[in-house]
Structure 1
Amino acid sequence: MTIDKQDGPYEVVRSPEVTRRLTLLWDPPEPKTRGRRATLTREDVVAAAVALADEGGLDALSMRRVASALNVGAMSLYTYVPGRTELIDLMIDRVYAEMDLPRAGTQWRPALAQYAREHWTLYQRHPWILQTNMWRAPLAPHVLDAQEAGLRTLIDAGPTERQVVEILGVVDNFVQGQARTVIAEDREKESTGLDSDAYWTSMSSFWVDFFDVERFPTMTRIWNAGAFDEPQGTFESSLERLLDSIELTVERARAGS
């Protein structure tokens, strides 16, 4: 099966590097051990790399450190993975396989909520994923399974195909932004010993010594109304508000069709 674009055929570019990278994800060759019995599997290498990244982020990931964790020489890893870029591709595909994705036929709102929650949980479990460029996620089997599941939640709900892509992009950006905020806050708390409340208490002199009510009248008005006293919305409450907005778009699309 081929995918046709509305504006006609387009150039297909193949390079040895890209072909090698994609082949490793979709049709990986057996490691060549030159007659020796393999002491590792590619899955062993990927699992060790994921464990290192879970503990110290991608900055802690190198072929040498993975080899050390496996008690083998660094050069032996290249039997299984050509390099760090390909290794990260395999790591992302491996952890994406952990998600419980919404099944076909599920109503769009609970399905989309499940899609969002599974990504949220994934980022909490493996925060190093967000150190990568999510707009250039590897074209890997389980990554595309997740995207397929997300698109499937809305494709027959009423919105046009373009709207489906836009909505899913909004959901992805929302979840990634929320996850980055929580992860950054956890790291700040760990490094400084101050949680969010303690930090803002430590900065409280600013409002008396430097804040200018004439320069920031809107902020002052909201402050006086006590709106800033409300606790920051949780992921779940924010997700529900987002789904409410998407529901309006879905209903509008159905009415228009």
Structure 2
Amino acid sequence: MTSEEGGECVSPDDDEIVRTPEITRRLALLWDPPEPKTRGRRASLTRADVVLAGIALADEGGLDALSMRRVAAALNVGAMSLYTYVPGRTELIDLMIDRAYAELDLPEAGAPWRPALSQYAHQCWMLYQRHPWILQTNMWRAPLAPHVLDAQEAGLRILVDTGPTERQVVEILSVVDNFVQGLARTAIAEDRERESTGLDSDAYWTSMSSFWADWFDVERFPTMNRIWEKGGFDDPAGPLESSLERLLDSIELTIDRARNSS
């Protein structure tokens, strides 16, 4: 638990908190960014310009395409001038992620949990489609940034009063996050395959159709064959819709069980 004293969130073991100049600078850039020092000259850029240029580069070529030099070139300025606004690439990626998360249309407090959680999942899915480079970062170490925490707050708020324990609430939201991120990574990889080969999913599997006639062994894979014949592999609703509904069904069972046991 935490308590607020003098506007600062302080833990009971405050004397054990680690504060380094690097981390303090990194967090201050997200929460209380200093004004760029331009030595009396009128600034030709804003920090937002730098962040948006970084997002544009990453949207096009992924994080491998992102460097301070390339951002500077996109803005027609010298690379050294960027350090007036952002200390380095790590901090720039933090700011880019926070700016991207600001695009989320998060569910309002008090909304019924199932449509709210569906909205949360769909918003995250669309965010990753717009900015696939986010999934190149370590999502377990997402920046402690305002809009990133807004998203987590909204997700936890959806579930916190539905019946499960606080620990279960965290687990449920983690399952939803991992589910959406995993599907998004697969969809992004499929998009890249289509762009590089010129074949969409249907065309690819048509090109591989001889396998089923020449190599597939029904006796070895009888369950797979049975499910295929019944249309089990058909996915008319898209990669997210039907799977998300099944996941929400499971969450509903967990919520009902928690309510009945309380």
TM (norm. structure 2) is: 0.90
Aligned residue number for residue 49 of structure 2: 44
Aligned residue number for residue 222 of structure 1: 227
Q: Offset at 1:238?
A: 1.8
Alignment of 1:237-248 (within 5 A): 237-248=242-253
Letter in 2 for 1:62: S
Q: Offset at 1:14?
A: 1.7
Q: Are 1:17 and 2:22 counterparts?
A: yes
Aligned residue number for residue 71 of structure 1: 76
CA 1:19/1:192 → structure 2, altered by over 3 Å: closer, same or farther? same
State the Cα deviation string for residues 78-107 of structure 1 (Å, max 9, x = none): 010010010000000001111111111111
Find the aligned partners of 1:3 and 1:232 in 2 and give their Cα distance.
Answer: 51
Identical residues among aligned pairs (%) = 80
Alignment of 1:83-232 (within 5 A): 83-228=88-233, 230-231=234-235
CA 1:9/1:40 → structure 2, altered by over 3 Å: closer, same or farther? closer
Out of 29, 34, 38, the residue aligned to residue 39 of structure 2 is: 34
Unaligned runs of 5+ in 1: none
CA 1:9/1:249 → structure 2, altered by over 3 Å: closer, same or farther? farther
Find the aligned partners of 1:24 and 1:14 in 2 and give their Cα distance.
Answer: 15
Q: Offset at 1:24?
A: 0.7
Find the aligned partners of 1:161 and 1:4 in 2 and give their Cα distance.
Answer: 19
Find the aligned partners of 1:19 and 1:200 in 2 and give their Cα distance.
Answer: 52
Find the aligned partners of 1:12 and 1:80 in 2 and give their Cα distance.
Answer: 28
SS at match of 2:185: helix
Q: How many residues align?
A: 254
Unaligned runs of 5+ in 2: none
Q: Offset at 1:40?
A: 0.8
Aligned residue number for residue 241 of structure 2: 236
